[in-house]
A and B are shown apart, each in its own frame.
Chain A
Amino acid sequence: MLIVSCPNCGITAEETEFHAHGEAHITRHAADSSDDQMETYLFMRKNPKGVHFERWRHQNGCGKWFHMARCTMTLEVFGTYSAQTYAPPEELLAQIDAKRPGWRTPS
């Protein structure tokens, strides 16, 4: 069971109040892109064992979207942050670096 804090309304609740919507920070390729780019955008996902960035929605709460960094192996939630961003905040990345050294180069 994940304990999630919504950065939009400030509520901390367990995961049944929220809904996961897949990998975060995916570059959206539009209609004029190549077939390879479109394939990457639509289908290619990371599925790592360890640190993963995801889009979540506070489904049964304020209804807003946000991002979450968590570990797919231990289910530890590293933190949540605004949906209005292209990349995770630096301080969150630093926290993850401290907890999971070497996570940026998956084995």
Chain B
Amino acid sequence: MSEAVSALKNAVYIAGIAEISEMGAVGMITLRGDLAAKPLQKAAVAAAGVNVPDQRQCLTEGTGGMAWMSPDELLIMCAYDDANAKLADLRDKLAGTHALAVNVSDARAVFEVRGPKAREVMAKLAPVDLAPASFTPGMFRRTRIAQVPAAFWMPQEGVFRVVCFRSVAQYVFDVLCVAAQPGSEVGVF
């Protein structure tokens, strides 16, 4: 089989007010269905290694994690190489229920924005209130980054993980780098 590579092959930008890096290949499974259904919850927890997150929340543990995407959608994260096995297991467990699980690892790109000014970099690009009191670690937000759809969360203070479509990975990396260029501190947070 051909060698899987991420969209930007771990590109980094460290010259600016925050460090931008592409995270490489990350395993991602989209799971849609009735999020209140016990079989779906059980299968999702088994695949992700964390509990089902509350509305607009994200839980991560090592390489595993799960994010609340919409009232009927969860995003399960795992190591890239485990995605197919986890997907097969999920489908097995959900065979009798109305649910849909798809491996979307290769359709996505993941970035990290790190540093004390990470909030400012994100706030320049997304129409989201990123004040420390409003957006806290653990929250998950689907929105847009400049002109394209994206989602992000904070695994910890000062670190953002950004998920976008692979087809716009270069664009997202570029706008993040521009927003983080040296001397562009705003100083609002």
Q: What residues of A have a CB within 8 angstroms of the CB of B56 in the complex? A: 9-11
Residue B127 CB within 8 A of the other chain? yes
Residue A17 CB within 8 A of the other chain? yes
**Residues of B121-172 whose CB lies within 8 A of A:** 127-128, 141-144, 149
Docked-complex contact B70 and A62, CB < 8 angstroms: yes
Residue B69 CB within 8 A of the other chain? yes
Interface of A is mostly: loop
Residue A64 CB within 8 A of the other chain? yes
Docked-complex contact B143 and A10, CB < 8 angstroms: no
Nearest-neighbour CB distance to chain A for B54, whole angstroms, equals: 11
Docked-complex contact B143 and A17, CB < 8 angstroms: yes
Q: What residues of B have a CB within 8 angstroms of the CB of A14 in the complex? A: 127
A64 to B55, alpha carbons, bound, how many Å?
A: 14
**Residues of A56-107 whose CB lies within 8 A of B:** 59-64
Q: Give the total number of A-B pairs whose CB atoms are below 8 A apart.
A: 36
Docked-complex contact B142 and A13, CB < 8 angstroms: no
Tell me the nearest residue of chain A to B68, going by C-beta.
Answer: A9
A62 to B127, alpha carbons, bound, how many Å?
A: 15
A60 to B164, alpha carbons, bound, how many Å?
A: 11
Docked-complex contact B55 and A16, CB < 8 angstroms: no
Tell me the nearest residue of chain A to B150, going by C-beta.
Answer: A60
A11 to B55, alpha carbons, bound, how many Å?
A: 10
Docked-complex contact A9 and B149, CB < 8 angstroms: no
A59 to B85, alpha carbons, bound, how many Å?
A: 32
Docked-complex contact A13 and B127, CB < 8 angstroms: yes
**Can you list 15 pairs linking A and B with CB atoms under 8 Å apart?**
A8-B71, A9-B70, A9-B142, A10-B55, A11-B141, A13-B128, A13-B143, A17-B143, A59-B149, A60-B149, A61-B70, A62-B69, A62-B73, A63-B70, A64-B70
- A13-B128, A60-B143 given; 19 more Cβ-contact pairs under 8 Å: A8-B70, A9-B56, A9-B71, A9-B142, A10-B56, A11-B56, A13-B127, A13-B143, A16-B127, A16-B144, A17-B143, A60-B142, A60-B144, A60-B149, A61-B142, A62-B69, A62-B71, A62-B73, A64-B70
